[in-house]
Structure 1
């Protein structure tokens, strides 16, 4: 794995030198933009509308528009200097319960491994987080981007999850056409809870597949082999417009054709599940 950042995790006066690695990978199928007639890739250029010439990277600066058409500019070195004070430290400010954080705040996860001089303190922090079942809330700057972050343990490995600041979360009052909250019909609510119960199990990430990517791969194979029609998404079954209660009852019959749906909301899921990976995490 390639190291993408070096610095330290600190809490109180404890300082743990660490290296940061990606924990995920892009797995999309790359599709390029082509000229339909000539089947040639389209190229983009960095063009200045004033001189109408392509601008080399060495002549590009970043700027903030404080008035229309008026900018203050920053050289790369200036931005690096602004970030330098905190860019090499993951400073834990608080420890909280993971359940207290809404998932809307989470962005991207990275793995942290210790430098040789920090291995003892690293193992200490891992064990302390696992035993207290807390996560650390920290500030971090990665590649000149400041971020809130959560420091937690995943399968015995210290990890960092970048987070949004509260000011970056849009309020629900900005969502148009939200219905007024009202009391649900008791019978409909009971059946909805029963449906949730029938679908409840442990989270098994390996069971979920990117169905669009699989169809796209098959379509690519078809076109390469010269088959006339590329693979298409399976046709959805035709359904009439069902009333809510009818839809709930039909869903329960589909999940439990043996007729157990009418025995109340305490039914066990009809399918077995294995232990979730998430249950092995330290927080």
Structure 2
């Protein structure tokens, strides 16, 4: 992996030089738009519909819409007067329990790697946070924009950084029309709890794969090899049944799956 940048992680008076890496990648194939006549990728022009012509880069200014169709213009000089976030720095402000941070705040995940000569301070912070089971709330400047972040132990052997939304960027759920006072029968709740317990398993991300990505990759390979692509038949729509019957059938299915898994696990290995 190539680091996005090198910087420092500030922990009180301790400064830890680190490299930051993207922790995730999207492996879904991306589509390019091509001209059907020649298979050349198309390009988009910066076009002004009022003047009916292409606009050159030097003719473009930034603007923020404050009313429909009304903009306040911001020049490079205006923006240069704003306080600049400290580049390539991660400043820890406080520590908290991970249970206090709702995942709705998370944006992107990164790995932090100690630079040469900073391993001792890096593992000092990692070890302290791991033993105390805490995470660090920090500020970081990424791509010239300051953002809130969370620094946390990942698998107890590396520091990870999660960029976060600011509090006023997270929408309130209060505006949703969630019914109140909905009555749930005791028997229904007990059956639902039984089903949840039967379906509870350790989280193993490797066993969850993208069916869409598998199908699109198979389609691409088939097209490359000149094979005919056969579409899988659509599943029949599920029969509409009442809640209790749905729970009973789900529990029966979970029991059957558990029995099958037990048989497979207890079967002797092939010679």
Distance 1:213 1:81, change over 3 A: farther
Q: CA deviation at 1:100?
A: 1.4
The aligned residue for residue 219 of structure 1 is 219
Return the TM-score normalized by structure 2: 0.84
State yes or no: 1:110 paired with 2:110.
yes
**1:135-214 matches, cutoff 5 A:** 135-155=135-155, 156-175=157-176, 177-214=177-214
Q: Secondary structure at the match of 1:256?
A: helix
Distance 1:161 1:114, change over 3 A: same
Q: Kindly indicate whether the alpha-carbon contact (under 8 Å) linking 2:85 and 2:141 is maintained by their aligned counterparts in 1.
A: no
Q: Secondary structure at the match of 1:257?
A: helix
Query: Which structure is richer in relative contact order (CA contacts within 8 A, separation 6 or more)?
Result: 1
Q: CA deviation at 1:158?
A: 1.1
Q: Kindly indicate whether the alpha-carbon contact (under 8 Å) linking 2:85 and 2:146 is maintained by their aligned counterparts in 1.
A: no
Distance 1:64 1:272, change over 3 A: farther
State the Cα RMSD in Å. Answer: 2.9
Distance 1:246 1:70, change over 3 A: closer
Q: How many residues align?
A: 262
Q: Kindly indicate whether the alpha-carbon contact (under 8 Å) linking 2:107 and 2:163 is maintained by their aligned counterparts in 1.
A: yes
List runs of 5+ in structure 1 lacking aligned partners: 261-268, 274-283
The aligned residue for residue 265 of structure 1 is none
Q: Kindly indicate whether the alpha-carbon contact (under 8 Å) linking 2:85 and 2:144 is maintained by their aligned counterparts in 1.
A: no
Q: Which has the higher strand share?
A: 2
CA distance in 1: counterparts of 2:209 and 2:29, whole angstroms: 14
The aligned residue for residue 24 of structure 2 is 24
Q: CA deviation at 1:197?
A: 0.6
Distance 1:98 1:259, change over 3 A: closer
CA distance in 2: counterparts of 1:271 and 1:20, whole angstroms: 46
The aligned residue for residue 89 of structure 1 is 89
Greater Cα offset, 149-158 or 38-47: 38-47
The aligned residue for residue 44 of structure 1 is 44
Q: Secondary structure at the match of 2:256?
A: coil
The aligned residue for residue 5 of structure 1 is 5
Q: Kindly indicate whether the alpha-carbon contact (under 8 Å) linking 2:108 and 2:163 is maintained by their aligned counterparts in 1.
A: yes
Distance 1:69 1:217, change over 3 A: same
Q: Kindly indicate whether the alpha-carbon contact (under 8 Å) linking 1:218 and 1:231 is maintained by their aligned counterparts in 2.
A: no
